[in-house]
Amino acid sequence: MIKTKSNSFLKFSFIFIISSLTLFVLGSIISNVSGTPIKDVMFIEGIVVLMLSVFSLIEGNTTLPSMQEFGRINPQYLVNMILESNENARKKINRNSTLNIQLDISSLGVIVAAFISVIFSFTI
């Protein structure tokens, strides 16, 4: 049991350190190339990585209409939506949407590194 916890902590620490170093090196390269202050680059970089890592954790199954259907309301798509809704009603599909968030050690390390990058940008 203790060995498993220490392995998990070592994995978290390794991914956190690698992610932090990658964010800092990438931020300093972008800062040198573009001439912007490193605190601005670290802030934007931290926000982008934080959003991408959090959104990549979300899984789910939904029966709600997709974003593609909103711009295409013409008769063919309308009939298709009606047919699909009738088929779903006939099959009595469970209409509840499910949302799963799978949080593991590696994704937690990236999230913490991105959060530290955002905090670091305020302290510089």
Q: What pLDDT, on a 0 to 100 scale, did the predictor assign at position 35?
A: 94
Residue 112 CA to residue 17 CA, distance in Å, equals: 10
Q: Identify the residue whose tokens are 């990585």.
A: 49
Token pair listed for 112: 């913490």
Global pTM reads 0.68
Nearest by Cα to 117 from 56, 48, 68, 52: 48
Residue 17 CA to residue 23 CA, distance in Å, equals: 10
The per-residue pLDDT for range 70-89, each reduced to its tens digit, is: 565 667 767 777 777 777 77
Q: Where are the domains of the chain?
A: 2-62+101-123, 63-96
Average pLDDT in the 32-55 region?
94
